[in-house]
Amino acid sequence: MKKYLKGILATTMILSMTAALAGCGSSTDATTEEGTDATTEENTDATTDGTEADAAGDKTLIMATSADFPPYEYYEGQTVVGIDAEIAQALADKLGYTLQIEDMNFDSIIPSITSGKADIAMAGLTATEERKESIDFSDSYATGVQVVIVKEGSEIQSVDDLLADGANYTVGVQTATTGDLYATTDIEQAGKGTLERYTKGTDAVAALQTGKIDCVIIDSEPAKSFVAANEGLVILDTEYAVEDYAIGLAKDSPLTAEINTALQELIADGTVQGIVDKYIIAE
Ligand code: ARG
């Protein structure tokens, strides 16, 4: 198991909570600013799909993410940092691209890939069979675990309690995440409780704090980060699901092969582990 460096965490959480608290404002601002820049650059430089840009030696790699997910992607000031941001930068450096990170709501990420607005999706994105129907995935570069956050002393003590016959809890998830997909099937459609979907994981955690919901299903690393930054929350010992994180790409994208080659090199030479170790320390 892994554990955060609490100091770093506390700082990053304050930053991301500040961003979250600024509300739509902050994420809209970021998107607008970046969006405007990006559009201008693209239009001036190379218009559309990077083909002309490639010829001019000015290759941009646009990464779609949802920067609300420490330690994989979150804001430090105005900059998106984290494991995904750094791995993407290392891939871009290796392959000769200029990396451009586009922050958006999580549920816009896969559409941004299918529509061609972004080249790669890195967002602690789980490679699921269902998603493979609309996008392709690179090789996996990390493992994700879905866990359950509750308030200390909650009567929910295990995933089994949550899914028991007659259970009727209100469960928070981030919209369109695998936590949402599992809970939709296992809880909402099974008539075992109510689901509340939030744009950001931090919004779900805030709702848990105020007692609006009984638990949050979310990936374990952000869960640890949120629990470290909020008094009175705990993560249940039992895991809900274990998953593989991978880079999302358009179906049959010519990028997939070069990304996989570069990714394997970065795994083999220890770069990926070095980035992970910078953000997460082993217990
Ligand atoms: N691993 C989960 C999924 O793929 C959650 C990812 C959420 N990522 C984020 N940057 N908010 O659905």
**Three-state secondary structure string covering 181-234:** HHHHHHHHCCCCEEEEEECCHHHHHHHHHCCCCCEEEEEHHHHHHHHHHCCCEE
* pTM > 0.85: yes or no: no
Task: List the chain pLDDT tens, one digit each, 283 residues.
Answer: 333 333 334 333 434 443 433 333 333 334 433 444 443 333 333 334 444 444 445 699 999 999 999 999 999 999 999 999 999 999 999 999 999 999 999 999 999 999 999 999 999 999 999 999 999 999 999 999 999 999 999 999 999 999 999 999 999 999 999 999 999 999 999 999 999 999 999 999 999 999 999 999 999 999 999 999 999 999 999 999 999 999 999 999 999 999 999 999 999 999 999 999 999 966 5
Give yes or no: residues 161 and 50 share one domain. Answer: no
149 and 138 in a single domain? The answer is no
Residues 50 and 138 in one domain: yes
134 and 213 both lie in a single domain: no
Atom index in ligand 1 nearest the CA of residue 178 equals 12
Do residues 231 and 154 share a domain? yes
Q: Indicate whether 122 and 189 sit together in one domain.
A: no
Same domain as 230, residue 175: yes
Nearest CA to ligand 1 atom 5: 177
Q: Which domain holds residue 230?
A: 145-241
Number of domains in the chain: 2
Measured in Å, residue 55 CA sits from the centre of ligand 1 at 34
Q: Phi first, then psi: give them for residue 43, nearest 5 degrees.
A: -65, -40
Same domain? 63 vs 85 = yes
Residue 197: CATH number of its domain: 3.40.190.10
Strand (E) or helix (H) holding 62: strand 60-65
**172 and 215 fall within a common domain:** yes
Q: Which of 69, 112, 120, 199 to mutate to test the pocket of ligand 1 (most atoms within 8 A of CB)?
A: 69
The rounded Å distance from CA 125 to ligand 1 centre is 5
Same domain, 9 and 79: yes
CA distance to 59, 61, 96, per residue, from 56 (Å): 8, 14, 12
Q: 124: CA distance to ligand 1 center in Å?
A: 5
Same structural domain for residues 14 and 115? Answer: yes
- Residues with CB under 6 Å of ligand 1 are 65-66, 68-69, 73, 106, 123-126, 144, 174, 177-178, 219
**Residue 144 alpha carbon, nearest atom of ligand 1:** 1
Asked if 62 and 107 sit in the same domain, the reply is yes
Mutate to test the pocket of ligand 1, among 178, 200, 218, 242 (most ligand atoms within 8 A of CB): 178
The contacts found for 112-117 with CB under 8 angstroms, 24 or more apart, are 112/64, 113/64, 113/248, 113/249, 113/250, 114/250, 114/251, 116/49, 116/250, 117/62, 117/64
